[in-house]
A and B are shown apart, each in its own frame.
Chain A
Amino acid sequence: MIRIEHLNKRFKKLQALNDVTATFEKGHVISLIGPNGSGKTTLIKSILGTVKPNSGKIFVDGEQINGDPSYRRNIGYMPQIGRYPDNMKIGHLFSMMKDIRNENEEKLDTDLIVKFNLISLFDKPMRTLSGGTRQKVSAAFAFYFDPQILILDEPTAGLDPLSSEVLKDKILAEKKKDKLVLITSHVLSDLDELATDVMYMQEGKMEFFKPIETIRKETGEMKLGKAIARMMKSRQLGSLWIDEANKIERR
Chain B
Amino acid sequence: MSRYVLYDIFRSKVIIAYTLFLFIISMSLFRMEENSGKAMLSLLNIVLIVVPLISMVFSTIHYYNSYEFIELMLSQPMSRTRIILSEYAGVAISLIVGYLVGVGIPLLVFSPDATGYAMIGTGCFLTLIFTSIAFWASVKSRDKARGIGFALLLWFYFALIYDGLILLILFTFSDYPLEKLTLLLSALNPIDLGRIFIMLKMDVSALMGYTGALYEDFFGSFRGMIFTMGVMFVWIAVPLFGAVRSFKKKDL
Contacts and interface: CB of A to CB of B under 8 A. Distances in A.
B68 A79 contact: yes
Interface string A43-77: 00100111110000000000000010111110101
B68 A81 contact: yes
Contact of B72 (A49, A82, A99): A82
Contacts of A71: 77
A51 B251 contact: yes
Interface in B4-40: 4-5, 7-9, 11-12
Interface string B221-252: 00000000000000000000000000001111
B77 A69 contact: yes
A161 interface: no
Contacts of A72: 75-78
Interface residues of A, number: 32
A84 B69 contact: yes
B71 interface: yes
Given A69-B79, A82-B68, A100-B1, A52 B11 contact: no
A164 B77 CA distance: 28
A97 B77 CA distance: 10
B74 interface: yes
B77 A70 contact: yes
A85 B251 contact: no
A85 B252 contact: no
Contact of B66 (A82, A85, A92, A97): A85
Tell me whether chain A's interface is mostly helix, strand or loop, or mixed.
mixed
B249 A52 contact: yes
Nearest to B8: A85
A129 interface: no
Contact of A87 (B12, B78, B249): B12
Interface string A80-93: 01111111100010
A125 B8 CA distance: 10
B215 to A, nearest CB: 44
Interface string B53-91: 000000000000111110110111111100000000000
A108 interface: no
A48 B75 contact: yes
Contacts of A88: 4, 7-8
A206 to B, nearest CB: 20
Given A79-B68, A81-B68, A86 B76 contact: no
Contacts of A86: 8, 12, 65
A101 interface: yes
Given A45-B252, A51-B251, A100-B1, A85 B74 contact: no
A22 interface: no
B4 A75 contact: no
Interface of B: 1, 3-5, 7-9, 11-12, 65-69, 71-72, 74-80, 249-252
Interface of A: 11, 45, 48-52, 67, 69-73, 75, 77, 79, 81-88, 92, 96-97, 99-101, 125, 151
Given A48-B74, A70-B77, 13 more contacts: A11-B251, A45-B251, A49-B74, A52-B249, A67-B79, A69-B77, A77-B75, A79-B68, A81-B68, A82-B68, A85-B4, A85-B5, A100-B78
